[in-house]
C-alpha cells in the first residue's frame, strides 16, 4: 500500500470504528469530517486526538485515502462536496454502502480520484454497544481497478476477506445481508418481548433466548439447505403451527405463514398428502384472521 494516511467523512457507527481499526493497524487518520462541527459525544477510544470537521487542515486537503461512511442517501452530496473541497487527483475514495456502486462517487472520479465501494459484511452497532469484530469479516469490493486494489489491501490489513462483487449483484447481495441479519434481529427482539409477556424477564444476565438462538444460528450457518432446521415447521407439525398462528400478532403470523409456505416449497416435501399450513388452510381453521 502506497501510504496509510486516510480521512473519513461520516463520524457514525462505521466511520468511527473503521478509523479506530485502521489506526490500530498502522494507519494515520488525517481527519474526520461530520455534518456538524462538534465532535460526536460518543467517541471511540483511540480517536481523541483526531482532527474533526475541517477541510482547512492542509494535510487533510490531500488525503490519499478517503472513506465515505455517510448514510446512502448522503453519498452523492458528499461526493460533490469532496470534489469541490479536496485535491483528489491520485486519491482513492471508497464508500461503505452495501447497495450503491462506485458510480455514486462520480464527482470524485471526475475530479481525478479513483473510486470504489467497500462493504464489510458485518453489523456495526452504536459506539458503546458491543464492539464490532473485523477479523475474518468478508468485504465486498467493486469499482475502478486502482480503488479495488487498495480496497483489497486495506481489507487484508484489517484481517478481513475481500472479494470482488459485480456492480449488478449489489442489490441482491445487500438484500441477502438484510434478510439474514436484520430480519432475524427483528424476530429475535420480538421473541424476547413475547417471552417477557409469559413472565420470563430476568433482571440481569444474557437473554434467556441466548442458548437457543445462538445454537440455532450456528446450525443455520453450518447448513447448506434446511437440513438443520428444527421446530414445528421442520417436523411438519401443522397442529402446533396453527396454534402458534392463533396466538401471534397478526402481522407476525402472516410472516410466519409465508415462511412456512416458502420452506414447504423449497424443502420439497414430495408428499402431496401432507397438509400445508398455507394462508388458505389458516383461513379455513381461523376464519376471523
Ligand atoms: N451500521 C452498519 O452495520 C453498517 C454495516 C456495513 C455498511 N454500512 C454502511 O456504512 C454507511 C454508514 O452507515 P452507519 O451505520 O455508520 O451510519 P450512521 O451511524 O448513521 O453514521 C453516518 C454518519 O454520517 C454523518 N453524515 C451524514 N450526512 C453527512 C454529510 N453530508 N457530511 C458529513 N457527514 C455526514 C452523520 O452525521 P449526523 O449524526 O449529523 O447525521 C453520521 O455521523 C452506510 O452506507 C451504510 O450502508 C453500515
Question: How does pLDDT run across 189-225, given as a tens digit for each residue?
Answer: 999 999 999 999 999 999 999 999 999 999 999 999 9
How do strand 28-33 and strand 5-9 relate by DSSP bridges? Answer: parallel
Mutate to test the pocket of ligand 1, among 69, 80, 105 (most ligand atoms within 8 A of CB): 69
Mutate to test the pocket of ligand 1, among 10, 72, 79 (most ligand atoms within 8 A of CB): 10
Mutate to test the pocket of ligand 1, among 13, 175, 181 (most ligand atoms within 8 A of CB): 13
User: Environment class of residue 283 by beta-carbon count within 10 Å: exposed (0-12), middle (13-18) or buried (19+)?
Assistant: exposed
> Of 48-52, 124-128, 138-142, 155-159, which gets the smallest average pLDDT?
48-52
* Phi, psi of 132, deg, nearest 5: -70, 145
User: Of ligand 1's atoms, which has the minimum distance to the CA of residue 11?
Assistant: 43
Distance CA 41, CA 97 (A): 24
Q: Which residue CA neighbors atom 25 of ligand 1 most closely?
A: 10
CB burial string 240-271: b at 16+ within 10 A, e below: ebbebbeebeeebbeebbeebbebbeeeeeee
Distance CA 182, CA 118 (A): 20
Report whether pLDDT(128) > 60.
yes
DSSP state for residue 1 in the 8-state scheme:
-
CB count in 10 Å sphere of residue 231? 11
* Strand stretches in the chain, DSSP E: 5-9, 28-33, 65-68, 92-95, 114-120, 138-143, 161-164
| 117 within 8 A of 100, measured Cβ to Cβ | yes
Distance, CA 73 to ligand 1 centroid (Å)? 10
What's the predicted TM-score (pTM) here? 0.89
> Of 65-74, 80-89, 216-225, which gets the smallest average pLDDT?
80-89
Distance, CA 192 to ligand 1 centroid (Å)? 28
Report whether pLDDT(247) > 80.
yes
* Residues lining ligand 1, Cβ inside 6 A: 9-15, 33-36, 69-72, 74, 77-78, 96-98, 119-120, 123-124
| Cell digits of residue 237 | 407439525
> What's the pLDDT score for residue 36?
73
User: Of ligand 1's atoms, which has the minimum distance to the CA of residue 16?
Assistant: 16
Mean pLDDT computed over 218-242: 96
**Res. 269 pLDDT band, cuts 50 70 90:** low
User: Of ligand 1's atoms, which has the minimum distance to the CA of residue 122?
Assistant: 5
Report whether pLDDT(61) > 80.
no
Backbone conformation region of residue 45, classed left if phi is above 0, alpha if psi is from -120 to 50, else beta: beta
**Res. 127 pLDDT band, cuts 50 70 90:** confident
Averaged pLDDT of the chain: 88
Residues 82, 86, 89, 92, CA torsion sign:
negative
Mutate to test the pocket of ligand 1, among 8, 12, 185 (most ligand atoms within 8 A of CB): 12
Q: Any residues with CB less than 8 A from the CB of 118 and at least 6 apart, and which? A: 67, 94, 95, 96, 139, 140, 141, 151, 154, 155
| 61 within 8 A of 36, measured Cβ to Cβ | no
User: Of ligand 1's atoms, which has the minimum distance to the CA of residue 40?
Assistant: 43
Distance CA 109, CA 88 (A): 8
Distance CA 23, CA 47 (A): 9
Backbone conformation region of residue 127, classed left if phi is above 0, alpha if psi is from -120 to 50, else beta: beta
Amino acid at each position: 500500500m502506497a501510504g496509510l494516511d486516510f480521512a473519513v467523512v461520516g463520524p457514525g457507527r462505521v466511520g468511527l470504528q473503521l478509523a479506530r481499526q485502521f489506526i490500530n493497524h498502522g494507519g494515520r487518520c488525517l481527519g474526520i469530517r461530520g455534518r456538524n462541527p462538534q465532535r460526536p459525544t460518543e467517541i471511540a477510544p483511540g480517536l481523541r486526538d483526531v482532527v474533526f470537521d475541517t477541510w482547512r487542515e492542509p494535510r487533510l486537503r490531500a488525503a490519499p485515502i478517503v472513506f465515505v461512511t455517510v448514510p446512502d442517501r448522503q453519498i452523492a452530496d458528499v461526493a460533490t462536496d469532496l470534489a469541490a473541497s479536496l485535491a483528489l487527483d491520485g486519491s482513492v475514495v471508497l464508500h461503505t454502502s452495501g447497495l450503491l456502486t462506485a458510480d455514486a462517487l462520480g464527482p470524485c472520479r471526475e475530479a481525478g480520484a479513483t473510486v470504489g465501494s467497500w462493504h464489510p459484511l458485518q453489523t456495526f452497532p452504536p459506539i458503546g454497544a458491543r464492539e464490532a469484530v473485523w477479523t475474518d469479516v468478508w468485504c465486498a469490493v467493486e469499482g475502478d481497478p486502482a480503488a479495488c486494489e487498495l480496497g483489497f489491501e486495506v481489507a487484508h490489513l484489517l484481517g478481513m476477506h475481500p472479494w470482488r462483487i459485480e456492480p449488478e449483484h449489489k442489490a441482491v447481495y445487500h438484500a441477502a445481508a438484510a434478510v439474514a441479519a436484520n430480519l432475524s434481529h427483528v424476530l429475535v427482539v420480538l421473541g424476547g418481548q413475547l417471552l417477557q409477556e409469559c413472565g420470563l424477564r430476568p433482571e440481569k444476565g444474557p437473554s434467556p433466548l441466548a442458548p437457543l438462538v445462538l445454537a440455532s444460528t450456528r446450525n443455520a450457518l453450518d447448513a447448506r439447505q434446511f437440513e438443520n432446521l428444527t421446530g414445528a415447521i421442520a417436523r411438519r407439525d401443522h397442529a402446533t403451527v396453527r396454534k402458534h398462528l392463533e396466538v401471534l400478532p397478526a402481522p407476525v403470523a402472516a410472516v410466519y405463514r409465508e415462511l412456512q409456505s416458502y420452506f414447504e416449497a423449497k424443502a420439497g416435501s414430495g408428499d402431496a398428502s401432507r397438509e400445508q399450513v398455507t394462508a388458505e388452510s389458516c383461513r379455513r381453521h381461523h376464519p376471523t384472521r
